[in-house]
Structure 1
């Protein structure tokens, strides 16, 4: 299993992605809660092993891990922007089911000397040789055979660690950037003081309340089952790259649609495929989507509907590749906006003093060499493969 290839997929996703500016924010106090569930089918018990790996590596929960989860488990990011007291710490009372105690502390981010602030220009290493030229071959759609006009091909050269595309490169889908542009004005969880990761059985359901300098006195809200962590996305595969692969999954309660992206190498060629039925859709869709855009793309079959249960990767897509593709899949959950209730005696110029946005997703990744192991996860060979991958991720 080549860990560098996983890093390549993640950084290449950034290199090929495009986003729009964050939407305007009006309320004096805004709270953002993102939750994600991540699994790597075929790796039994990795929730506990992942926490052990983090402890062994000296790593603690960090803000931003919901966007691109690593080890299997549940993740939560909380960001508060209080314009009345920007950057001032706050306390959020949380329900018992979250298993993080009775409250969490929202604190400013401590930026390390080498931190880049989450740059999306792919200036870091892609895991590809600098100065090297690569050809991108892209396929799309579920089925036994590829449609006409496939694959689309273009070239990419790595210069000073940055990708330079040549030819008629595919344009990424315009996915609006909804995450807050975190800066000194925000306080966050997780933060340097957070020593506990989110449990695999954690739940957001219940009452939440924020307290702190400059916060509205009654910033209290309740979250229900529809706002909670999505269940695990149980993805399985059969077949082979040379003969075509069939992907199957159990329905995720609360999912509003699905999207799959796969990637493999063939010498100096990178082969990509997605489940989109209406042309190119890349790794930029492996993230939260606005509900309006999700509805639009489901209608156009860019995104698989909530009733989808399987997808066949055409034989031509990965025939002749050096290794099985890495497959990533996402189940899109709900997005909910909550605002301060309007008082009965409010005037015409009244506006809410606070808003809360909650969104969820569930993702899965089939690692090359482990696809198809889901049903046999309890077998010794599968367990040993999981341990080997864990050692690789830890660099041991």
Structure 2
């Protein structure tokens, strides 16, 4: 073949080769372990908490913000050639979900189901003023310049803000929601939940209409469920609390956020040393951001094992009232091959509510019921200052 003809033939072949190498399928896997230290497993308090969680099987999306203790797994598949088409994922025996899980597109929702949480909360509270007091940092005493205070007043549906409003940290949103272009697990057809002794380690194979035949990958210990985050507290809100925990294998950093009520004032605190950091950090974070924020002391390093909450933070909230949330950040890895990619994110979280250790008293039961109201308040705050 003459040289010019050969060059034309090669040029014509190049687009086809590039197209064949383009990503045809993207698989997203979120892996979470959640615990509530001191929560009785089968007692009256445990049953009450189960009822609060609606008693239903975990649904897709709960790996980001788990409710009850356990292991959580979210899987989302984007088939570029056939978006929203069902697929199957053969899974290792150790996952204890059978030979495979079925990935299905989400069911469509009616317009009546979508009501913004912040608007709901504002409507329930009506007119009034809400004061928020912020603290941050571990130690015996609060830092100079704290607390920062912020007041939100709602009158006739209008919001007026005053004081020092804190800006939430910018956390990249790489989560896949209930998007009809994706096939998801868990879904309404899933009959099993993830067992406490489940493991993702092993071979996974995804098959479906017009998916790459090579979509098979291995997950090892680094991509598996992380161990439980065993958080313990010493002292009380009035005298100051010291938080301690055992190291979590695979953890790259830690972060703690606390919330309590002081009369009509919402008190918030975090373990960050470089300024305000909110509940938005109790989520999966990219490894690059974990490294950056650990260096700035927004996050505690992997070798951290304790944090003292200054007495002034929760001194006015009464004994046993703070709700504490903690996260151990794991890996955020991508496995890429010609035609497909798999992204796996891991974390381990804990929620500690004072009063749940020892005897399960009625007072402890009332304490366990408070997070729902506090979560609603925080939803309002995110809507107001998290723009």
Tell whether the structures are fold-level matches, with TM greater than 0.5: yes
SS at structure 2 position matched to 1:125: helix
Q: Which structure: larger Rg?
A: 2
**Alpha-carbon deviation of 1:217?**
0.8
Equivalent residue number for residue 358 of structure 1: 344
Q: 1:56 to 1:304 in 2, by over 3 A?
A: closer
Conservation of the 8 A alpha-carbon contact between 2:49 and 2:368: no
Equivalent residue number for residue 93 of structure 2: 96
Equivalent residue number for residue 307 of structure 1: 303
Q: Distance in 2 between matches of 1:37 and 1:213?
A: 32
Q: 1:260 to 1:159 in 2, by over 3 A?
A: farther
Conservation of the 8 A alpha-carbon contact between 1:42 and 1:386: no
Alignment gaps of 5+ in structure 2: 1-21, 373-387
**Alpha-carbon deviation of 1:321?**
1.2
Equivalent residue number for residue 252 of structure 1: 248
Q: 1:161 to 1:125 in 2, by over 3 A?
A: farther
Among 109, 112, 115, the residue aligned to 2:113? 115
Equivalent residue number for residue 280 of structure 1: 276
Among 207, 210, 235, the residue aligned to 1:239? 235
SS at structure 2 position matched to 1:171: coil
| Cα deviation code 1:288-343 (max 9, x no counterpart) | 11111100000011000000000000011111114521011000011110011xxx
| Cα deviation code 1:333-368 (max 9, x no counterpart) | 11110011xxxxxxxxxxx31100000111111124
Alignment gaps of 5+ in structure 1: 1-25, 341-351
Equivalent residue number for residue 28 of structure 2: 32
Q: Distance in 2 between matches of 1:271 and 1:391?
A: 18
Equivalent residue number for residue 19 of structure 1: none
Q: 1:184 to 1:161 in 2, by over 3 A?
A: farther
- Tell me, yes or no, if structure 1 residue 85 matches structure 2 residue 82: yes
Q: Distance in 1 between matches of 2:199 and 2:362?
A: 31
Q: Distance in 2 between matches of 1:127 and 1:46?
A: 36
Conservation of the 8 A alpha-carbon contact between 1:207 and 1:220: yes
User: Structure 1 or 2: larger helix share?
Assistant: 2
**Paired residues, number:** 348
- Tell me, yes or no, if structure 1 residue 328 matches structure 2 residue 314: no
| Cα deviation code 1:94-140 (max 9, x no counterpart) | 000100001000001113434339x6x73332697222211111111
Q: Distance in 2 between matches of 1:162 and 1:63?
A: 35
Q: Distance in 2 between matches of 1:385 and 1:202?
A: 34
Conservation of the 8 A alpha-carbon contact between 1:172 and 1:281: yes
Q: 1:78 to 1:115 in 2, by over 3 A?
A: farther
RMSD between aligned residues: 2.9
**Alpha-carbon deviation of 1:261?**
0.4
Q: 1:134 to 1:52 in 2, by over 3 A?
A: closer
- Tell me, yes or no, if structure 1 residue 74 matches structure 2 residue 71: yes
TM-score w.r.t. structure 1 length? 0.81
Q: Distance in 1 between matches of 2:83 and 2:287?
A: 29
Conservation of the 8 A alpha-carbon contact between 2:353 and 2:367: no
**Alpha-carbon deviation of 1:61?**
2.3
